[in-house]
Structure 1
Amino acid sequence: MAVMAYLGTVESIALLSNSRDNGFTGVNLYCDDEASFVDAPPNPRATEVAFCCGKQMQVQGDAFLARVFDNEDDFERLDFTLREVASSAQWVKEAAAQNEAKMRGDGAGSILRRMQEKKQQPAQQAPAKVLELKPAEAAKENGNAAFKKGDLQKALELYTEAIQLDSKMAAAYSNRALVSLKLSQPEAAEADCTHALELDPSNAKALLRRAAARKALGQERTAKVDYQAVLQLQPSNKEAAEALQALQM
């Protein structure tokens, strides 16, 4: 949640709604509510997860999943592992059945019956599948989780592991740069952002973070150039516009 709060407002989408049938345990997809306004890039993995759960939607920008217990009297966040983010996971099957039942106007009590009927029917088409994470991707996602918990050193180690496993993962460099900024290490942050931009010149996050690093290093002229580049990619980016205006005063 810390990362999403840093990016802006959060939209919560119930992929698996909590109900008496499932012990009041649901799975929510949290998205950046302003992603479409800043023209954030598509998030194919989150989109595929939602699709497998019966939610026809296009997810943009950063997103994460969380399992919750909520019976209207008590609320608790439960463990949810990366291994469970797969089309074969039981919760995904339950979510798909539940959302199909909702589309048909059925009550919650018919969900299990629908699931049993599906097992007995021949498959008409291949179901969508969520690809399993590669080792480098898993390390990056674990780094994101550590960052959300405020464990910056652990996040730094995991992003470094991701880069060692895949030296072309621009997001890992950009995310490690954010950690370096939080740790007051602008030189390291600038270097990582430059690596990220060599791999992905249109990475607005890397541009923003490099601008912040350069500003911290007293390099205001090059920081302005980076902020201007962000605004060329995302004209409505408030953070870049406000930072650029502050530098020009």
Structure 2
Amino acid sequence: MADIYRDAAEFYDIAGRPYWKPRATALANAMAPAAQTNSPIIDIGAGTGLVVEIVGAALADVPILAIEPSAAMRAALASRVQADPALARRVTIAATILEETTLPDRLGGVVACGVLGYLTPEDRHRLWQLLADRLAPGCRAVVDAAPFPATRTVRPIRVGAARFGECRHEIWLGSRPAAVPGRIELTTICRVLRDDRTVRESVSTQEWWAMDMRTILAEATAAGLQCRRAGWDLATLAVSSTDSLNAQLSAATASTKR
């Protein structure tokens, strides 16, 4: 399968760092209960490791499983993890997609940001069910809504820029409704300029499911999860207290029968 992030990986942190800076505290707080379990945090679509870095700094002893199918992204992810020996000792990198990853029976936390757009309704149902079945009591998942609506065109806007020597690197995002209702064509433009002249540019387009917060709430609630907003585009998910109690009772019953 072609690496759709082959060109964009170089520019990913330029947009990702300013995105996560105001959201880092909410992310760290959501993952904090994992410290009370012996279960790892799963980062689905770990990218270049920005979430791994934030969670790793906030929770010093919790293992992290970083799932990232893009080789270009994993190169940056591995470099970031390797730069911190303490982090490297507890971060496992899986070169897979979620469906092909062997997961533990209990999850201390899950981050699925920038990935819901790739999942079909059936895939999302499986994800919600996975969280309902395997999130440890009191632990949470963090997911995000799509950046653009499904019903109108958004002209490309610059979402990140940085200067490297004599050049300025920029990344732009735009969208328009796709043929299938609920989907968008997301366009990414990566551009390098010198003296305001473009010296290198790549343009890629991919289709996304335009997941809004209302849809996330409806689908997650139907799967037995509690959904709370943690920002305009972030939501935390947890197993409802009743479902959590039933899961613990079932586990205790099974243990007694043994």
Higher normalized helix content (fraction of residues): 1
Structure 1 and Structure 2 fold alike (TM over 0.5) = no
| TM-score normalised by length of structure 1 | 0.32
Of the two structures, which has the highest relative contact order with CA contacts closer than 8 Å and spacing of 6 or more? 2
| TM-score normalised by length of structure 2 | 0.31
